[in-house]
């Protein structure tokens, strides 16, 4: 997977190229940033995604400029970034962040086969929250036809990870400034039921389970 495009240029020791690492970061994220070029102009659009094996799926309305552009087989760059902490150094210039990020290069393909599209939509829904698909109405034929699904192979991909304490200049360790890491994580709050929720429908188990697990996300 290491190519001229995916090689981590800055701080190469932070680069990591195995598929397991790449996929674990993709699975822990919720939003990707899709980069593509239209008439020389770069666009970076945040969107949800799903993964099945070594394919990343994005979806949306057939009218979406992003999806219309991408299905023409143009080059795309999809980036997922998870922020894990603020790295506070003794010197201003050595401030940094702990993070896990993945960059995937390639060309997206239209998913047109019905069963495959359904599998991709299953993956999206389960990516948002495990157990969700079984607790919702499945897509009907009209919705299936009214949704564009694209697949991007996770082949030319790289991960970049920073962990651990700040790294200051040797002479700065004697300074009287506090240094360290402030861990950051995404915390789920109490579920807010839809105001139009029918009476008697309680928070289901898969949501409760998600909240319990959200600590480790």
**Residues 132-191 contacting a copy of itself, CB under 8 A:** 132-133, 135-139, 143, 147, 165-166, 172-191
Q: Is 34 one of the binding residues for a copy of itself (CB under 8 A)? A: yes
Q: CB neighbours (10 Å) of residue 29? A: 20
* Strands ordered across the beta sheet of 41-48: 15-16, 156-162, 96-107, 75-88, 31-38, 41-48
Task: Report the residue number, 72 or 135, with the smaller CB distance to a copy of itself.
Answer: 135
Does 198 interact with a copy of itself (rule: CB under 8 A)? yes
Q: Which is nearer to a copy of itself, 19 or 30 (CB)?
A: 30
Residue 81 binding a copy of itself, by CB under 8 A = yes
Q: Tell the burial category of 25 from Cβ atoms under 10 Å away from its Cβ (0-12, 13-18, 19+).
A: buried
Alpha carbon distances (Å) from 32 to 27, 206, 216: 11, 24, 20
Nearer to a copy of itself, 1 or 30 (CB): 30
Q: Which of 51, 55, 90, 117 binds a copy of itself (CB under 8 A)?
A: 90
**Selected binder of a copy of itself within 2, 24, 27, 75 (CB under 8 A):** 75
**Residue 52 or 86 with smaller CB distance to a copy of itself:** 86
Query: For residues 52 and 120, is the Cβ–Cβ distance under 8 A?
Result: yes
In the complex, minimum distance from the CB of residue 193 to a copy of itself, in angstroms, rounded to a whole number: 4
201 is a contact residue toward a copy of itself (CB under 8 A): yes
Residue 12 binding a copy of itself, by CB under 8 A: no
Rounded to 10 degrees, the C-alpha dihedral 162/163/166/170 comes to -80
DSSP state, residue 190: -
> How many chain residues bind a copy of itself (CB under 8 A)?
94
Sheet (strand 109-110) strand order = 50-52, 55-60, 148-153, 109-110
Q: Which residues does residue 56 pair with via DSSP β-bridges, in sequence order?
A: 51, 152
Residue 1 near a copy of itself by CB under 8 A: no
> Closest separation between CB of residue 20 and a copy of itself, Å?
21
CB atoms within 10 A of CB 49: 22
Q: Is 101 in the site for a copy of itself (CB under 8 A)?
A: yes
Q: Is 43 in the site for a copy of itself (CB under 8 A)?
A: yes
Asked if residue 130 binds a copy of itself (CB under 8 A), the reply is no
């Amino acid at each position: 997977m290491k190519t001229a495009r995916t090689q981590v240029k800055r701080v190469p020791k932070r680069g990591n190229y195995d598929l397991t690492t790449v996929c674990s970061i993709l699975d822990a994220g919720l939003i990707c940033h899709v980069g593509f070029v239209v008439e020389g102009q770069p666009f970076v659009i945040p969107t949800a995604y799903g993964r099945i094996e070594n394919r990343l799926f994005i979806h949306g309305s057939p009218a979406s400029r992003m999806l219309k552009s991408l299905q023409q087989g143009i080059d795309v760059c999809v980036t997922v970034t998870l922020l894990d902490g603020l790295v506070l150094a003794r010197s201003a210039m050595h401030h940094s962040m702990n993070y896990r990020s993945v960059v995937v290069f390639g060309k997206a393909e239209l998913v047109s086969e019905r069963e495959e599209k359904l599998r991709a939509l299953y993956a999206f829904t389960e990516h948002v929250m495990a157990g969700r698909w079984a607790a919702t109405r499945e897509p009907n034929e009209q919705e299936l036809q009214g949704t564009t699904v694209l697949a991007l192979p996770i082949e030319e991909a790289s991960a970049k990870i920073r962990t651990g304490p700040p790294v200051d200049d040797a002479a700065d360790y004697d300074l009287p400034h506090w240094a360290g890491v402030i861990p950051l994580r995404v915390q789920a709050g109490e579920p807010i039921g839809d105001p139009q929720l029918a009476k008697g429908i309680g928070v289901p188990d898969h949501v409760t389970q998600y909240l319990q697990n959200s600590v480790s996300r």
